[in-house]
Amino acid sequence: MYIVLLGAPGAGKGTQASRMAEQIGLAHVASGDLFREALSNRTELGLLAKSYMDRGALVPDEVTIRMIFERVALPDCAKGVILDGFPRTIAQAEALDRTLAGQGKNIDLVLYIKVSEDELLSRLGGRWLCRRCQAPYHIKSAPPKVAGVCDVCGGELYQRTDDSMETARNRLVVYFDQTAPLIEYYQTKGKLVEVDGEQEIEAVTRELVDVVRARQVQK
């Protein structure tokens, strides 16, 4: 199964993708996490990505597409993948469609997590992440048991520099300009299912997992 999680920065894609991956048994591939991992390893890709991420801009399609295709070719993705943060442009979506078609596969579902702009900004402003395992937390809605420490692995929590109010606002502008057109792109193909992302985290997961299970039965 190929599942795309679509939604603005802060909509809850990472939170939901890791919960869904655990419940459904698919790999979770997050383009932002891959760029941050490359940066922490000081690779050429990471340093290139940083120059875009710092401004809240998108990394060029060609580089992003190559990185994702190399990742989904790994054995842990053989049963299927939940894509989080990719595709983010029409060109990326078309490249994904073409590559999957070449392998006799296609995208099964696009789950659009809808959240209002005010809520997105408050989520990004209060987000903390584990430096080691990337688990997301929020000062109000999803606090860790011990301040500054990851519940999952004990790693140190940090705030992303691109979650600052100024860069977060810029990322939302980029989202509405370059990524939101994907809603119609996938709607036209009959693949889009919209979910209310302003419910409690558990309720959103329940709804998403139900949609996936219903689609698995149809396959």
Q: Which residues bind ligand ADP (CB under 6 A)?
A: 7, 9-15, 123, 126-127, 136-138, 141-142, 197, 200-201, 204
| List of long-range contacts for 54-59, beta carbons under 8 Å, 24+ apart | 54/161, 54/162, 54/167, 55/167, 55/170, 56/162, 56/167, 56/168, 56/170, 56/171, 56/174, 57/170, 57/174, 58/88, 58/89, 58/174, 58/178, 59/35
C-alpha dihedral, 57 to 51 to 88 to 15, nearest 10°: -100
- Residue 26: count of CB within 10 angstroms of its CB: 21
Known catalytic membership, residue 213 = no
Known catalytic membership, residue 66 = no
Interface positions, 158-197, toward ligand AMP (CB under 6 A): 162, 171
Known catalytic membership, residue 127 = yes
For 176, residues 6+ apart whose C-beta sits below 8 A from its C-beta are 8
Known catalytic membership, residue 13 = yes
The reply on whether position 56 binds ligand AMP by CB under 6 A is yes
Residue 28's binding partner, choosing from ligand ADP, ligand AMP, none, with beta-carbon cut-off 5 to 8 A by kind?
Answer: none
Single residue of 58, 72, 157, 212 touching ligand AMP by CB under 6 A: 58
CB of 15 to ligand ADP, least distance (A): 3
CB of 5 to ligand AMP, least distance (A): 10
Please list the active-site residues.
13, 88, 127, 160, 171
Sites of contact with ligand AMP (CB under 6 A): 9, 31-32, 35, 52-53, 56-59, 64, 85-88, 92, 162, 171
